[in-house]
């Protein structure tokens, strides 16, 4: 198992490599990688053309994982994902033909375009790291991560992910539009490359990624910081605008992603700043807003932002004045 | 105080939808109230006096067997009464819908006022920078004393707490929802302070406060050096601006 400084160096190398393809999105890619290091799955929800699919493929290349892409369409069947038994006439037996879910990194592209039946087929794979077909259970390779993309604007013909499935995603990340300089950098790189395809260099392999994930267990989380995670998650449940807040899985996710984010930042301890940095990505998709507020500007984003401004952070108690502080 | 932009953005959608609803209802009622000619097929109403207004000739020479007529018989008067009742009914319905729309509008406005976006009140604004600079520089020796006491970790935390208390006494609002480093760095960035100095101080405080491993005397020395650099930068920053003018 690698130590924290080594892990930080390797993680930074992965991010630097991803940066050679994804321009100007270091903050978002740090959170995506923190989600993967924490052993979770990532939902990337943003407008078309902002590099979601490219980011997933680039992470797979840099992390040295087997990569498969499943385009989620309305007619996609669960067996198209998990695989199915096919009759082998030569041998006279049914043999299991594995689906795209048997991989290191699965890109579930436009996951909200497939019906709930197929979405649910992914649930067992994401949560249990196994699939069950006709009573037989097949374990998935380790590591296994799902990077799903969803388009937040085109709702016609889509099937919004139910809360139970959204909860399975450790983080939800939006890349957002690049700045003018970054956008020009994208164009400039394309012209310099003289071809459409982009290829990231492999930095680690699957075994090393597992080691990095194991290293997260060595990160210190003080009780005050842990209670801050709990306080934030509980506050989402008690907020007047929420119908449903984050479950204890949400507070656990906050802690796990906070640990990984600390390693990304080169520390072996988690600070309240780490928790605040990852809280939007961890909590926003776990909050359900009251239906009567659909016409207002209230959203899960505004609720989490408000909580980050109101929930008390752990601090060192101040004395009454500078002389007393001594 | 809430920003105007935030309030108007919150208020924007609901009244617009309610206004569109009211206008749509008005249009529907107006359309229903406009008198329309009766179309009667003469073959089904024998004996009626036919008006001269014949429907225009259609395409291909086809002439529809439909004429417009006025009916002076008692049956027609009855239908006028029915039409009147229907008209008043539509008017009452409109009134009801208008009341519902107004109720929705009032509810939306009240909800928007209640749910208005609360801007962050914890940002460091309107600071007396001169007073802050004086406080930071005059408290420097006491901070170094605090840094020297106890273990390196205890000293680093004590010096940072002293710095925070100095800022608070100088008027910086220490919101409980902001982390110690957020507030302190936000205030000190207003001076021309080397960013590396601030990063060093914040990193050392975080490590002393939140990690389990001990800090070393080297860390204490780095902290002392950073505090002295901070004092010099703040002092230099204020001297460049000059003392506040009087009168």
User: A146 pLDDT band (50/70/90 cuts)?
Assistant: very high
Q: B236: distance to nearest CA of chain A, Å?
A: 22
pLDDT of residue A235: 93
Q: What are phi and psi of A138, to 5 degrees?
A: -120, 120
- In chain B, what residues touch A326 (CB-CB under 8 Å)? 142, 145-146, 149, 158, 162
Nearest-CA residue of chain B relative to A312?
B177
Q: Are residues A140 and A4 in the same domain?
A: yes
Q: B115: distance to nearest CA of chain A, Å?
A: 8
Residue A324 lies in a domain: no
Q: Is A309 on the interface with B (CB under 8 A)?
A: yes
- In chain A, what residues touch B17 (CB-CB under 8 Å)? 295
Residue A242: give its domain's CATH number: 1.10.8.80
Q: Are residues A118 and A261 in the same domain?
A: no
Q: Shortest CA distance to A53 belongs to which of A206, A237, A197?
A: A197
CA distance A102 to A106: 8
pLDDT of residue B36: 58
Would you call A295 and B161 a contact, using CB atoms and an 8 Å cutoff?
no
Write the DSSP string, B134-201. HHHHHTHHHHHHHHHSSSHHHHHHHHHHHHHHHHHHTT----TTS-HHHHHHHHHTTS---HHHHHHH
Would you call B209 and A293 a contact, using CB atoms and an 8 Å cutoff?
no
Residue A307 has pLDDT above 50, yes or no: yes
Map tokens 């300089």 to a residue. A181
Q: Shortest CA distance to A308 belongs to which of B87, B178, B52?
A: B178
- List pLDDT tens digits, range A170-222: 999 998 888 899 999 889 989 888 888 888 899 999 999 999 999 999 999 99
Residue A150: give its domain's CATH number: 3.40.50.300
Residue A323 lies in a domain: no
Q: Are residues A241 and A137 in the same domain?
A: no
* Residue ranges making up the domain that contains A272: 219-313
Which of A209, A233, A256 is at the close of a domain?
A209
Domain count across chain A: 2
- List pLDDT tens digits, range A251-303: 999 999 999 999 999 999 999 999 999 999 999 999 999 988 877 888 899 99
pLDDT below 50 — which residues of chain B? Answer: 1-11, 50, 54-55, 58-61, 115-123, 243-247
Q: Are residues A10 and A156 in the same domain?
A: yes
Residue A8 has pLDDT above 60, yes or no: yes
- List pLDDT tens digits, range B86-95: 888 887 887 8
Q: A5: distance to nearest CA of chain B, Å?
A: 14
CA distance A258 to A245: 19
Write the DSSP string, A14-47. HHHHHHTTS-S-HHHHHHHHHHHHTT-EEEEE--
Would you call B117 and A302 a contact, using CB atoms and an 8 Å cutoff?
yes
In this prediction, residues A72-77 reach a mean pLDDT of 90
Interface predicted TM-score of the whole assembly (ipTM), two decimals: 0.80
pLDDT of residue B70: 53
Nearest-CA residue of chain B relative to A317?
B161
Q: Are residues A34 and A116 in the same domain?
A: yes
CA distance A305 to A284: 9
- In chain A, what residues touch B213 (CB-CB under 8 Å)? 268
Q: Are residues A74 and A173 in the same domain?
A: yes
- List pLDDT tens digits, range A77-117: 999 999 999 999 999 999 999 999 999 999 998 888 888 88
Q: Are residues A94 and A239 in the same domain?
A: no
Residue A98 lies in a domain: yes
CA distance B71 to B40: 10
Would you call B17 and A295 a contact, using CB atoms and an 8 Å cutoff?
yes
**How many residue contacts between A and B have a Cβ separation below 8 Å?**
103
Percent of chain A with pLDDT over 70: 96
- List pLDDT tens digits, range A50-64: 888 889 889 999 999
Write the DSSP string, A214-255. HHGGG-B--HHHHHHHHHHHHHHHH-TTEEE---HHHHHHHH
**Least CB-CB distance to B10: which of A296, A315, A324?**
A296
Q: Is A295 on the interface with B (CB under 8 A)?
A: yes
Q: Name the pTM for this structure.
A: 0.74
**Mean pLDDT taken over chain A:** 89
Taking CB atoms within 8 Å and a gap of at least 24, the contacts of A176-179 are A176/A25, A176/A28, A176/A46, A176/A50, A177/A47, A177/A50, A178/A23, A178/A24, A178/A25, A179/A24
Residue A318 lies in a domain: no
pLDDT of residue B184: 85
Q: Are residues A58 and A100 in the same domain?
A: yes
Which of A161, A188, A209 is at the close of a domain?
A209
Scan residues 234-263 of A and list those with Cβ closer than 8 Å to B.
241
Would you call B146 and A326 a contact, using CB atoms and an 8 Å cutoff?
yes
Q: How far, CA to CA in Å, does B136 sit from each of A70, B80, B132, B160?
A: 59, 89, 6, 12
Which of A209, A231, A266 is at the close of a domain?
A209
CA distance B57 to A110: 57
- In chain A, what residues touch B157 (CB-CB under 8 Å)? 316
Q: Quick count: other Cβ atoms within 10 Å of Cβ A171?
A: 26
Domain ranges in chain B are 4-114, 129-241
CA distance A213 to A34: 10
Torsion of CA B72, B73, B76, B77, to 10 degrees: 90
What is the token pair recorded at B27?
A: 């249009």
* A294 contact partners, CB below 8 Å, separation of at least 6: none
């Amino acid at each position: 198992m690698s130590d924290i400084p080594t892990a930080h160096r390797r993680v930074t190398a992965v991010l630097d490599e991803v940066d050679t393809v994804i321009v100007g999105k270091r903050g978002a890619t740090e959170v995506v990688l923190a989600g993967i290091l924490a052993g979770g799955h990532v939902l990337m929800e943003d407008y078309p053309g902002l590099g979601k699919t490219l980011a997933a493929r680039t992470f797979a290349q840099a992390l040295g994982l087997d990569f498969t892409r499943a385009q989620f369409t309305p007619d996609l069947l669960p067996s198209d994902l998990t695989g199915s038994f096919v009759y082998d006439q030569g041998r006279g037996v049914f043999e299991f033909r594995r689906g795209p879910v048997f991989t290191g990194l699965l890109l579930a592209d436009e996951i909200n375009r497939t019906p709930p039946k197929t979405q649910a087929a992914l649930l067992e794979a994401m949560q249990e790291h196994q699939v069950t077909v006709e009573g037989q259970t097949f374990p998935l390779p380790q590591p296994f991560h799902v990077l799903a993309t969803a388009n937040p604007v085109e709702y016609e013909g889509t099937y919004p992910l139910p809360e139970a499935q959204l909860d399975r995603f450790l983080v939800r990340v939006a890349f957002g539009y690049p700045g003018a300089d970054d956008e020009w950098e994208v164009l400039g790189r394309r012209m310099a490359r003289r071809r459409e395809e982009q290829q990231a260099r492999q930095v680690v392999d699957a075994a090393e990624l597992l080691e990095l994930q194991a290293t997260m267990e060595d990160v210190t989380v003080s009780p005050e910081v842990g209670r801050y995670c709990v306080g934030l998650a509980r506050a989402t449940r008690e907020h007047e605008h929420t119908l449903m807040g984050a479950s204890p899985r949400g507070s656990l996710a906050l802690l796990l992603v906070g640990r990984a984010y600390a390693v990304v930042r080169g520390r072996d301890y988690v600070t309240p700043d780490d928790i605040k940095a990852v809280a939007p990505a961890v909590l926003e998709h776990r909050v359900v807003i009251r239906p009567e507020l659909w016409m207002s500007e209230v959203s899960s984003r505004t609720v989490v932002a408000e909580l980050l401004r109101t929930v008390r952070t752990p601090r060192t108690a101040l004395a009454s004045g500078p002389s007393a502080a001594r | 105080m809430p920003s105007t932009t935030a309030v108007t953005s919150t208020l924007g959608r609901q009244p617009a939808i309610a206004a569109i609803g009211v206008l749509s209802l008005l249009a529907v009622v107006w359309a229903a109230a406009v008198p329309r000619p009766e179309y009667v097929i003469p073959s089904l109403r024998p004996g009626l006096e036919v008006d001269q207004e014949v429907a225009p000739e259609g395409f291909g020479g086809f002439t529809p067997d439909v004429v417009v007529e006025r009916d002076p018989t008692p049956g027609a008067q009855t239908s006028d009464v029915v039409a009147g009742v229907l008209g008043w009914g539509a008017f009452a319905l409109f009134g009801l819908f208008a009341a519902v729309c107004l109720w929705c509008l009032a509810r939306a406005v009240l909800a928007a006022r209640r749910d208005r976006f609360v801007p962050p009140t914890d940002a460091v604004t309107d600071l007396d920078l001169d007073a802050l600079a004086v406080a930071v520089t005059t408290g420097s020796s006491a901070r170094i004393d605090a840094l020297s006491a106890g273990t390196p970790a205890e000293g680093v935390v004590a010096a940072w707490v002293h710095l925070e208390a100095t800022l608070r006494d100088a008027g910086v609002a220490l919101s409980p929802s902001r982390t110690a480093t957020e507030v302190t760095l936000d205030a000190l960035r207003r001076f021309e302070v080397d960013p590396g100095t601030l990063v060093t101080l914040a990193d050392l405080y975080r490590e002393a406060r939140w990690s389990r491993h001990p800090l070393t005397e080297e860390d204490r020395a780095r902290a002392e050096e950073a505090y002295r650099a901070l004092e010099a930068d703040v002092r230099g920053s204020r001297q460049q601006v000059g003392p506040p003018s009087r009168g």
